[in-house]
Amino acid sequence: MLDEDGQLWGAVPELPPGTEVAGFTIEGTIASGSFGTVYRARRSGNPYAVKLVAIHPRGDREAAALRLVRHPNVVTFHGYGLWPEEEPRFLVLALELVEGRTLDVWAAEENPSALELVMRVLLPLALTLADVHASGVVHRDIKEANIVVRESDGQPVLVDFGAAGLKEGALRLTMRLPPGTAEYRSPEVLRFAKQWEGEHYPFSPGDDLWAMGVVIYGLLTRTLPFGDRSNPGLNRAILEETPPSPHELNPRVPQVLSDVCMGLLEKKLEDRYPDAKALAEDLVVVCTEADSSWRTPMFPRSGQEKSSPSPAPGEPRRQWPRWWWVAGGLVLTVALLLLVTGLTPRKASPTSSATPRGTSGQEVVAPAKKTEVVPGAALPPAPVAAATSSEEPKMKKTIRTLVAAGCVAGSPGCVSGPQSRPPPPAECPPGAAETHKRFDMFGWHGAAFPPFDKIGVHPVREGPITTESIGDWGTLPDESLFTGRVFFGKDRVYARFTQVRLPTGEVLPICLEMVRNADLGLPKEPGSKGDVALIFSSVSVVPVRRFE
């Protein structure tokens, strides 16, 4: 295996299925690259992705980077060990096995609209990069192959930190040319290599943001902005040429989204987005201004990508994709938080260097037999944190809390506050628990109040109500209808659902409460009067054993 300077520093052997490595049973190869090989493996019945890298400072730094970054959209690091146990030559990194499709494959098969692409992929990635950079880590190899759209929840997950750089406390390894993929390298990297005089490259979050621009360009046009490595003029193109805007190559790309992409590909660092938070802000703004053209698939259908089933005869065609209810609520939630937390405006000013968060250093994987995990022994010292974990970027921490709690409606009511008395306790209808179990209805789930073709603040009255399921819930089909009753409190609106009507017409008992964060009900929005309450139409419901 060659490092960036062309020196051989170790080669990972091909491991056939059934091989035992540090307590893991190898099941197959997932990927192989310059810095190691990733295998699908199992330990104690649980699946893992196991990465083998030669014992070298590069592997130590990858483990250190993964220890620093704990984020739901970053591959989870479980620990490490050494192998073979008699004469260790490899570092064994135990990682989350992210089941899903790489971003390029997902985009080709799903052919998303511009709005779906931004809400499902680009905005989550921008927020993720903001947290990664705040941890003192720069990924340095952002590309479609290192972003996996997780099958279980549709979230983009950043993987492969083999090229990662740490802003503090890590040995600088690279000399002339830093690690990364040629097509995604920033102009700063290439200028540095041309003028190299023996010093180390001063990498920055700007390198990741440039690469994000290349990724977005490819998603919008299905071509790379400067060609691939087979192009002998690739480096010159990155340094000197301005590619056609995505909108010029693909008229289905909204002009404002095309402008965001080109803003990431400005040749001068100071002319680009100052940080990932500013990128997130612009993505929110362009989404809130989206019109109907944003809901058209990015490319004409080829017959190969997946498509939604056509409505049954006589059924009205919906104006909005089914994921839009959650996405629209998330847009408004993020927009509110951008205002509340004072997110840096686009290109407002250079940001100060991020302070890395501390880490416990606790390793959780103990290889079998004699191979031992020595917590922190094989890792460079973690940076000394100048801030506690409670001081992590306020917007990201709040957004993660809201999403985890099922808060998808963008209003001040997403924050818990004083709550009036809910309706009196009541028993669930007989058979509700069996329905929940039959369809794996666990945890939070999204539902939409009528009218189903619009999101926003809508009026409701006390009495019977029907909501519609947003997407599949376990094995409960999308567009199932929940029926129940609405109750008014002094300043909140409550709803209990006792029946579900499946798209097949089957009616079954259920027991669901409408919630916001950990509180029952929704706050009444400003303008509510007497027997008419205004609420946000995108809500969360949760199964209960008894109405409390």
Closest CA to 149 of 141, 139, 159, 140: 159
In this structure, which topology does domain 417-547 adopt according to CATH? Lipocalin (2.40.128)
**Residue 167 pLDDT:** 76
Q: Is the pLDDT of residue 4 over 50?
A: no
Residue 305: what pLDDT? 59
Q: How confident is the model at residue 194 (pLDDT cuts 50, 70, 90)?
A: confident
pLDDT beyond 90 at 513: yes
In this prediction, residue 517 carries a pLDDT of 55
* Residue where the block lists tokens 């289905």: 252
Ranked by mean pLDDT, which of 166-180, 226-240, 357-371 comes out on top?
A: 226-240
Residue 171 identity (one-letter amino acid): L
Query: What homologous superfamily is domain 101-300+320-341 in, according to CATH?
Result: Transferase(Phosphotransferase) domain 1 (1.10.510.10)
Predicted confidence at residue 168, as pLDDT, reads 59
DSSP 8: B
Could you give the CA distance from residue 376 to residue 475 in angstroms, rounded to a whole number? 43
Quick one: average pLDDT of 459-486? 89
* Listed residue (210, 368, 195) closest to 276, CA to CA: 210
pLDDT band at 522 (very low <50, low <70, confident <90, very high): confident
The predicted structure's pLDDT at residue 421: 59
More confident residue, 473 or 296: 296
When the pLDDT of each residue in the chain is averaged and rounded to a whole number, the result is 77
pLDDT value for 540: 81
| Coil, helix or strand at residue 271 | helix
| Start-end of H helices in 410-482 | 432-438
Please say if the pLDDT value at position 323 is more than 80: no
* pLDDT on residue 215: 98
Q: Which two tokens stand for residue 531?
A: 């027997």
Could you report the per-residue pLDDT of 528-543, keeping only the tens digit for each? 988 899 887 777 888 9
CB 149 within 8 Å of CB 101: yes
Residue 65's CB: how many other CB atoms inside 10 A? 25
Residue keyed to tokens 């406390």 = 169
* Multiple choice CATH, 1-97, 1.20.210.10, 3.30.200.20, 3.40.190.10, 3.40.50.1100: 3.30.200.20
Reply yes or no on whether the pLDDT at 145 is more than 90: yes
Of the pLDDT bands very low, low, confident and very high (cuts 50, 70, 90), residue 524 is confident
Write the pLDDT tens digit of every residue in 38-64. 999 999 999 999 999 988 777 788 888
pLDDT above 90 covers a percentage of the chain that reads 46
DSSP state for residue 18 in the 8-state scheme: T
Considering only CA atoms, which of 145, 186, 150, 183 is closest in space to residue 162? 145
- The per-residue b/e assignment along 154-163, b for 16 or more CB within 10 angstroms, e otherwise, is ebbbbbbbbb
Could you tell me which residue, 411 or 22, shows the higher pLDDT?
22
8 Å CB contact between 131 and 99: no
Residue at 310: amino acid letter: S
Per-residue pLDDT band at 469 (split at 50, 70, 90): confident
What per-residue confidence (pLDDT) applies to 419? 41
Give me the residue label for tokens 């400003």: 526
Cα separation, 307 vs 304, in Å, equals 9
Select, from the ranges 38-42, 399-403, 491-495, the one with the highest average predicted confidence (pLDDT).
38-42
DSSP alpha helices (H): ranges in 222-275? 234-240, 246-249, 255-264
Domain boundaries of the chain, sorted by first residue: 1-97, 101-300+320-341, 417-547
Confidence of residue 408 (pLDDT cuts 50, 70, 90): very low
Report the amino acid identity of residue 124: P
Q: How far apart are CA 312 and CA 310, in angstroms?
A: 7
Helix, coil or strand: residue 41: strand
**Do 1-97 and 101-300+320-341 show the same overall fold?**
no
Higher pLDDT, 331 or 87: 87
Backbone angles phi, psi at 265, to 5 degrees: -110, 20
The more confident residue out of 360 and 4 is 4
- Integer angstrom CA distances of residue 386 from 133, 202, 357, 390, 437: 15, 22, 8, 12, 47
Predicted confidence at residue 411, as pLDDT, reads 31
pLDDT band for position 207 (50/70/90)?
very high
Which residues is 338 bridged to in the sheet? Answer: none
What DSSP letter does each residue of 367-398 carry, written as one string?
A: -STT----TTTTSPPPPPPSS-GGGS-HHHHH
pLDDT over threshold 50, residue 360? no
